[in-house]
Structure 1
């Protein structure tokens, strides 16, 4: 649950709220529609959709995440279940949303097949995720930063999955797929300090850099933060399609 607490904090930022709002726009739901939020985490999207009078179902494989989400929106429906085996009837929802899920999946196709099964004809699907190959981080040693970011990629099963979402949706039978890019610019080192440490540690673990390299790189990034020279650019892809 430690990571959930970190993600919960991230979800409360203005940029995360804007990203969720863009996903709702792409879903094209109206009050009274039913939407499933797969990998719902701490339930921020479920709460917001419920306030918009959308009948929302939150599903996550993490029992602790579902407990947190349920405490936030006790009137919503929640299930603990994997993304490739949803406890929903065929063609039973108007919208399907999944954020930050596909970089965790070794095989995305069963999850997408389930999405296709539970959506009604004409229903909308919206998938969001970062492609870790597109992250940008300024540094005095750009080559070192690129290697550290490879360490960050190594922590995910499919770190570049987001670039394939459109293909996968079309291959699964969805139509009219569109891609929107939401870009977050971060100049506050403190917001990413923990992730930088994780990335550097992963690069050391994979023998991409030495411990001394990691310490020097982290010190440089911290110094950039103190001098107001820190810069990270984080694009997130939103891929929407119709069943």
Structure 2
């Protein structure tokens, strides 16, 4: 397992994908579930290029605060630029397993596409419980990568690409165990929502099209995949036009803090 590293080029690729209508719709649903209120203090764990963080800040207003925690300096630089005119946004460099905040610091915590990269998810969720105030809430979204449907001509080559891609994750099927982990960390799960990504035709301005290069850069040299193998895989997908089809399921859980932190 080798995690993705987000230097400047990788961060720009992710920023472009996060600006697609697919991910914009995902953020809208996450915000609907988070329900940020004026005056609240909210933490975004894995805040990336700052799109969600900016929306949270606009919702809580200057009476509240929006804090972003992100291990990538390149991502933090993007988020800082995106939120530069919002004085009540703060950004820190760090990871989900050791939150650099005092106990009972936040009204809510949100994290999207983060815990599938974390080795000790239970410990990370206990950390979330620690920094939440009594009755606080958490919204967590992650992907089950078994849910991917992607039309490719060479199925064996595509299988190797996707198997190699899973090596960038700690747990490619985390949503299956997330509710139980949240309960063990001191939460009660109050809502579950499926958020699908569906691209029925090839379009550059979609999540799947934007992810092809990220996958290709990671899998080259893994599972025997050569530069030529990956180039042919990508060219095949991009040539499909209206014969293209991609779908992926993401799972979002809303939980409230109960009792004392474990």
2:243 aligned counterpart, secondary structure: coil
- What displacement does 1:197 show? 5.3
Equivalent of residue 168 in structure 2, options 140, 144, 155: 155
CA-CA distance at 1:196 after TM superposition:
3.5
Question: Paired residue for 1:4, among 8, 11, 36?
Answer: 11
Which residues in structure 2 correspond to 1:142-221 (within 5 Å)? 142-186=155-199, 187-188=201-202, 190=204, 191=206, 192-193=208-209, 195-196=211-212, 199=215, 205-207=221-223, 214=230, 216-221=232-237
Partners of 1:28 and 1:124 within 8 A in 2: no
Alignment of 1:1-243 (within 5 A): 1-52=8-59, 53=61, 54-74=64-84, 75=87, 76-186=89-199, 187-188=201-202, 190=204, 191=206, 192-193=208-209, 195-196=211-212, 199=215, 205-207=221-223, 214=230, 216-225=232-241, 228-243=242-257
What's the CA shift string for 1:47-85, capped at 9, x where partnerless? Answer: 111111252111112223222212221311121122222
Asked if structure 2 preserves the Cα contact closer than 8 Å seen for 1:151 and 1:208, the reply is no
**Alpha-carbon distance change, 206 to 77 in structure 1, aligned in 2, over 3 angstroms:** closer
Question: Does structure 2 conserve the Cα–Cα contact (< 8 Å) formed by 1:33 and 1:55?
Answer: yes
* CA distance in structure 2 between the partners assigned to 1:70 and 1:214 by the alignment: 34
Question: Unaligned regions of 5+ residues in structure 2, if any?
Answer: 1-7, 258-262
Aligned-partner SS, 2:165: helix
Checking the alignment, whether the CA contact within 8 Å between 2:122 and 2:184 is kept in structure 1 is: no
Q: Report the Cα distance in structure 2 between the residues aligned to 1:60 and 1:203, rounded to whole angstroms.
A: 24
For the 8 Å contact 2:160–2:223, the answer to whether it is kept is no
| Unpaired runs of at least 5, structure 1 | none
Aligned pairs, how many?
241
Deviates more, 1:192-201 or 1:232-241: 192-201
Is 2:96–2:118's contact at 8 Å kept on the other side of the alignment?
no
